[in-house]
Amino acid sequence: MEMDDRIKYALEHTELIRAPQQELDTFGNSVIDYYVVTELVGNLSVVRDGKVIAERPKIVTPTYLINVEGFSEQARKYIAMIARENPYGSGIFYRYKNEPRGMNVVSEPIEQVINKLSSQIEGQNNALSTIIKGVEELWDVSLLMFIYGLTTRAARTNIAEFNRRGFFNIDASGVPQGARDYIEELFEHVSRNLSRAPELVIELNRWGLFPEYEDRFFALFRRK
């Protein structure tokens, strides 16, 4: 079976057994505890658990995304094309970090394992715990499918809230109001803790705003 066919198979046979009971936080990080359960062979099942940290969603424009690390050269060319056509079109950027905890092979049928996990999670009363029934060889594809669906559902709520607060309003520099507010928040953090200065510099550079804020930035260090 070719890789594309295997991925398609994994997607078709991935099942969300227990969805998170609340949506991603609009104004903060969310931590989702996950269990991916797969069938190894016969009555042997595999349970992988960990947590996915969904960082606070950020308001971005194509111009901003050009300066974000982690995109391939092809992706950057695509983003640059969008930036030329609509440089100030605002959207939401989600970033995730997967932190696996472990893997256990269990001598029980997969449905029995899932039932026990469901009871365990109910007892913990964790609204962001989830159980995913996946495919062993491509279990991480099953996990990514879940993350994609989670983001799609959360985006509607996040966008509505950002719109309500005027965060997508663009100023004369082509910067959304929400991005300006986030920069102000970072300045406040750095004023209390200079170790967060690199985070502020990165954000200013991604928006091309460091020259505008340069004097104010260096003033933070003169006060110490």
The pLDDT value given to residue 75: 66
| 21: its two tokens | 């009971």
The pLDDT value given to residue 126: 80
Residue 27, number of CB atoms within 10 A of its CB: 10
State the burial class of residue 60 (Cβ atoms within 10 Å of its Cβ: 0-12, 13-18, 19+).
buried
| 171: its two tokens | 């100023």
Residue 122, number of CB atoms within 10 A of its CB: 11
Residue 132, number of CB atoms within 10 A of its CB: 23
Of 217, 220, 213, 47, residue with least CA distance to 117 = 47
The pLDDT value given to residue 103: 95
Does residue 166 come out as left (phi exceeding 0), alpha (psi in the -120 to 50 range) or beta? left
Instruction: Give the C-alpha separation, 60 to 89, whole Å.
Output: 8
Query: Would you write out the chain's pLDDT as a tens digit for each of its 224 residues?
Result: 555 788 888 888 899 999 988 888 888 888 999 999 999 888 899 999 999 898 888 898 888 887 776 666 766 776 777 778 877 778 888 888 889 999 999 999 999 999 999 998 888 878 889 999 999 988 988 888 888 888 888 888 888 999 999 999 999 999 999 999 999 999 999 999 999 999 999 999 999 999 999 999 999 998 65
CA atoms within 13 A on the CB side of 17: 25
Diameter of the chain by CA atoms? 67
Instruction: Give the C-alpha separation, 52 to 54, whole Å.
Output: 6
Task: Report whether 32 contacts 54 (CB < 8 A).
Answer: yes
Instruction: Give the C-alpha separation, 119 to 129, whole Å.
Output: 12
Instruction: Give the C-alpha separation, 54 to 72, whole Å.
Output: 21
Task: Report whether 146 contacts 12 (CB < 8 A).
Answer: no
The pLDDT value given to residue 5: 81
The pLDDT value given to residue 213: 97
The pLDDT value given to residue 198: 96
Q: Give helix 210-222 / helix 197-207 axis angle, nearest 10°.
A: 160
**pTM of the predicted protein model:** 0.73
The pLDDT value given to residue 72: 65
The pLDDT value given to residue 71: 63
The pLDDT value given to residue 70: 64
